[in-house]
Amino acid sequence: MFKKASLSLAVCTLLAAPAAVMAAPAPSTDVTVEARFFSPSFDTKVKSDSIKYNNGQVSLKDDLGLSDKNAPELILRYRNMSLDYIHLSNSGSAKLNDTLEVDNKTYQANGSIHTDSKINYLKFTVTNPVLHGPKTELNWNYGISMLNWKLSANGEVNGPGSYTQSASESYTVPIPMVGIGGKAEVANGLDVYATVSGLPLASYGHIYDFEAGLCYSPIENLAIKAGYRKLDIHVHHGDDDGTFSLGGPWAGLSYQF
């Protein structure tokens, strides 16, 4: 009798094991992918010993005709680390108010010029908790960001035998960053958060990256997000000086695998 009962229990255990495994939720890998649609206002000025225009300064919007463009953004998170990538590409045409010299090439005043700009912003961040409650959280972060900026110009050179010439400039600037952030639950599944990071670089400039938004989770592992972000970079190195500013609303989705 005992042997029959033991055998029945063993068979039931073997039959139930696969069902239990299938019913159990898959363990989270702590990997989150977030895609955003960023619609910033664009403002960029460049001053360099290799670019001479309007007392040495060029505004990409006012002088070269570049306009605001939407910027796709992708964020990868693993536990307390994140990698944020923004790409902004735009172009424009304008008539020069002054003689412009770029990359040892001269474009005469009143001439037409077409400009292409490509900006890649990459930011690696490590976040650590300071206070962690059931509905609120305060943290601090550190990391490094990198701005890669490529600018090319095509314009006509007037005079005998008019022709078109091209010139280009490229900048890559790595900048360390530290910051603080926090979030609070305002309703079931709805959080509000804000974070700011950056670094004053004394005579070398500064970088500030501010973001605030809402996060709504209708189902487990999926979140709908929206907010505002402002990125302001001023870099000074030798005779080169650049101001880069992006600010505007964004919306996106994130999913934790």
- Collapsing DSSP states into helix, strand and coil, what is residue 49? coil
Q: What is the number of residues in the chain? A: 257
Rounded Cα gap, residues 226 and 216, in angstroms: 9
Rounded Cα gap, residues 83 and 104, in angstroms: 37
Among 26-30, 89-93, 143-147, 205-209, which is the least confidently predicted range?
A: 26-30
* Sequence spans of domains, the chain: 2-256
Nearest to 135 by CA among 191, 85, 89, 90: 191
- Cα–Cα distance list, 218 to 63, 135, 141, 215 (Å): 46, 17, 28, 10
- Going 109 to 158 to 91 to 204, the CA torsion angle's sign is negative
Predicted pLDDT of residue 162: 62
Q: Please tell me the CATH code under which domain 2-256 is placed.
A: 2.40.128
Predicted pLDDT of residue 26: 47
Return the structure tokens found at 10: 């063993």
pLDDT in tens, 65-119: 888 889 999 999 999 999 999 999 988 999 888 888 777 788 888 888 898 989 8
Give me the phi and psi of 9, to 5 degrees please.
Answer: -65, -40
Could you tell me if 245 and 253 are in contact, meaning their C-beta atoms sit under 8 angstroms apart? no
Place of tokens 């599944």: 189
Instruction: Give me the amino acid identity at 122.
Output: L
What is the average pLDDT across 40-57? Answer: 79
- Collapsing DSSP states into helix, strand and coil, what is residue 16? helix
State the pTM of this model: 0.80
Rounded Cα gap, residues 254 and 190, in angstroms: 14
In the predicted structure, residue 6 carries a pLDDT above the cut 70: no
pLDDT in tens, 170-196: 878 788 899 999 999 999 999 999 999
Among 2-6, 67-71, 88-92, 233-237, which is the least confidently predicted range?
A: 2-6
Could you tell me if 155 and 107 are in contact, meaning their C-beta atoms sit under 8 angstroms apart? yes
